[in-house]
Structure 1
Amino acid sequence: MLSPRTRRPPPRRRRDLLLTSLPRPDHVATVMADGGALAALRPGSVWIDLTTNRLGLVRALAEEAPDGVAVADSPVTGAVDGARNGRLTLFLGGEPEVVDRVRPVLEHLGRVITCGPLGTGNVVKLVTNQLWFIHSAALGEGLAVGMQHGVELSTLWEAIKASVGDSFVARHDAPSIFAGHYDPSFTLDLCLKDLGLTDELADAVPADLPMTAAAHQAFARAAERYGFDAAELHVARRIEDDAQLSFRLPGEWTPPWEQ
């Protein structure tokens, strides 16, 4: 037993910065709201939510924060390999003084882009995911059209990378299709969660957004066929299977989570 002189002090239960990164908005609400972790923060603290979250929830929770507790949202992008290698991009929303305070901490995780007031970090993150999902669905369609008309898969990929068809998705995600694992580090369920959040933002736009709607439908069809826990790029596998093609391409395709 420790003597009074050597007895360790009890652990502090409150911190100056609290960072959360959870799969879904309802998880954030469970952890933070109704007397949860947010209420335990002391004046002068900052809660930074790295979750891809619902805009309204972030702002509502900020309204519930104790006096003197600031809130910032900073969802991240860059996939598992970005996290492993410190090459994430973080979309930071909050009041200028809060942004200035937390930026040095977040820069240890990767590049920080200041987006505007609280909640805009999530808006930007959902826009980037909106384009990612559209690109992912389109990639499988492009490969199928080319292969159906006699073009070798390796030729298609080289042409895509050397043309206006190039994108981060083509370079980062196509190898997971070629390898046949379709990148299980992100599931169709999470894709559909983010697409649902994007739809909530899109409802405020007084225009038809057919590409976003089509991407949502494509991912929903993949989830219905392969299951909601299936890897994200099953959105391309559905096309592959229906067209009776093979998107396998020999090569040393290191999975993103091992890079």
Structure 2
Amino acid sequence: MRIGFIGLGTMGGAAALNLIKGGHQLAVCDLDPDRANQHLELGASWADTPAMAAKGADIVFTMVFGPKQIEQVVRGENGLLSAMGEGQIWVDMTTNQPNLARELGLELAAKGAQAVDAPVSGAVDGARTGNMPQFAGGREETIERIRPVMELMGPMHYMGQSGSGSITKLASNQLWAIHATAMGEALVMAVKSGVELSRAWEALKIGASESWCMHHDAPSVFAGHYDPSFTLDLCQKDLGLIVEACDDAGTQAPATRLVCAQFEKARETYGGDKGELHVVKLEEDAAGVSLRMEGDWVPHWEK
């Protein structure tokens, strides 16, 4: 297929490479042209604007920072609304506001295009290896038609009507933030109480405490880099959307609101450009405990 791909950040860039390797012709677009070097070497073409990326495309994928950015990509000058039409499909993989995802989808539908909200999970290693889960909302027949393309990037889960993918991604990030905060509290408590860190980690990876976070993210704490592939600024952007979704749904979500405050404290303490797991370092520093551990902790974005 002819595909436009807008947004070549750490996740988007890797996902786009998998589409190229799957045999599709891509036109790529990003604010930083240097991010496209590897894609161009593999045969992709460069598009100066979102409209140019969409020209003649069967599918246009977008994966940008957040709601403001995706609104600009769609509604802005030389945006997708100026270029997309009958028969084309827009798949937005941005972590977005569900209501905005629906609004933009309706505006493109008025031009004859179809919209799918399919934000992603799985971290950078998932994007690199083609194991990046996608949570898709929209017309089921449209999503099933493009499933073979989407599954080049990772497993695709159909969630329901428009906006359902965005809600599911927010719920996924909601749980991750709670798990990451709880992981720090549990490991610090165990170590400060005299349990050897390696033994605590092995025990907490099984049974009732088992989580993807404990398996996948704890090594970033042990290595001391706290995973710079996703920053505290990005965490707070997502948590803001999550709290907004809780408010819209009329849920109390007390744990979520406490965790949001803890991430904000980490951002104020260490800086918004620091890795997401500095929320764990906050607990380490408060308790006077280090969770450094010797080991061959290969960063997940290099796997």
User: Which TM-score band applies after superposition, normalised by the shorter structure?
Assistant: over 0.9
Query: Tell me, what secondary structure is at the counterpart of 2:167?
Result: helix
Measure, in 1, the Cα distance between the counterparts of 2:221 and 2:231.
Answer: 14
1:249 to 268, 293, 301: 293
Measure, in 1, the Cα distance between the counterparts of 2:190 and 2:144.
Answer: 49
Instruction: Compare CA radii of gyration and give the structure with the larger one.
Output: 1
- Kindly state the Cα deviation for residue 213 of structure 1 after the two structures are TM-superposed: 0.7
Measure, in 1, the Cα distance between the counterparts of 2:155 and 2:112.
Answer: 28
Percent identity over paired residues: 45
Measure, in 2, the Cα distance between the counterparts of 1:207 and 1:78.
Answer: 26
Match of 1:19 in 2: 61
Taking the TM superposition and a 5 Å limit, the aligned residue runs for 1:66-145 are: 66-145=110-189
Give TM-score scaled by structure 2 length: 0.80
Which structure is higher in RCO with an 8 Å CA cutoff and minimum separation 6? 1
- Kindly state the Cα deviation for residue 161 of structure 1 after the two structures are TM-superposed: 1.2
Confirm or deny: 8 A CA contact 1:183 1:232 kept in the other structure: yes
Taking the TM superposition and a 5 Å limit, the aligned residue runs for 1:160-179 are: 160-179=204-223
Confirm or deny: 8 A CA contact 1:139 1:170 kept in the other structure: yes
Measure, in 2, the Cα distance between the counterparts of 1:207 and 1:234.
Answer: 28
- Kindly state the Cα deviation for residue 163 of structure 1 after the two structures are TM-superposed: 2.4
Give the stretch that moved more between structures: 63-72 or 77-86. 63-72
Taking the TM superposition and a 5 Å limit, the aligned residue runs for 1:193-232 are: 193-232=237-276
2:71 to 29, 35, 40: 29
Query: Tell me, what secondary structure is at the counterpart of 1:232?
Result: coil
Match of 1:190 in 2: 234
RMSD: 1.4
Partner amino acid, structure 1, of 2:105: A
Confirm or deny: 8 A CA contact 1:38 1:47 kept in the other structure: no
Match of 1:7 in 2: none
Listed one character per residue, the Cα deviations across residues 24-46 of structure 1 (whole Å, up to 9, x for unaligned) are 11111111114512330121101
Structure 2: give runs of 5+ residues left out of the alignment: 1-51
- Kindly state the Cα deviation for residue 204 of structure 1 after the two structures are TM-superposed: 3.0
Measure, in 2, the Cα distance between the counterparts of 1:161 and 1:250.
Answer: 18
Partner amino acid, structure 2, of 1:41: M
Partner amino acid, structure 2, of 1:13: K
Match of 2:225 in 1: 181
- Kindly state the Cα deviation for residue 98 of structure 1 after the two structures are TM-superposed: 1.4
Listed one character per residue, the Cα deviations across residues 215-234 of structure 1 (whole Å, up to 9, x for unaligned) are 10110000000011110000
Confirm or deny: 8 A CA contact 2:140 2:158 kept in the other structure: no
Give TM-score scaled by structure 1 length: 0.93
2:198 to 154, 158, 168: 154
Structure 2 vs 1, CA of residues 118 and 207 (structure 1 numbering), >3 Å: closer, same or farther?
closer
Match of 1:38 in 2: 81
Confirm or deny: 8 A CA contact 1:133 1:215 kept in the other structure: yes
Query: Tell me, what secondary structure is at the counterpart of 1:203?
Result: helix
Confirm or deny: 8 A CA contact 1:94 1:118 kept in the other structure: yes
Listed one character per residue, the Cα deviations across residues 39-85 of structure 1 (whole Å, up to 9, x for unaligned) are 30121101100111111111111122143111001111100000111
Structure 1: give runs of 5+ residues left out of the alignment: 1-10
Count of aligned pairs between the two proteins: 249
1:53 matched to 2:96? The reply is: yes
Confirm or deny: 8 A CA contact 1:14 1:42 kept in the other structure: no
Greater per-residue helix proportion: 2
Partner amino acid, structure 2, of 1:48: V
Partner amino acid, structure 2, of 1:187: T
Query: Tell me, what secondary structure is at the counterpart of 2:209?
Result: coil
Measure, in 2, the Cα distance between the counterparts of 1:76 and 1:126.
Answer: 10
Measure, in 1, the Cα distance between the counterparts of 2:294 and 2:141.
Answer: 52
Measure, in 2, the Cα distance between the counterparts of 1:13 and 1:88.
Answer: 27
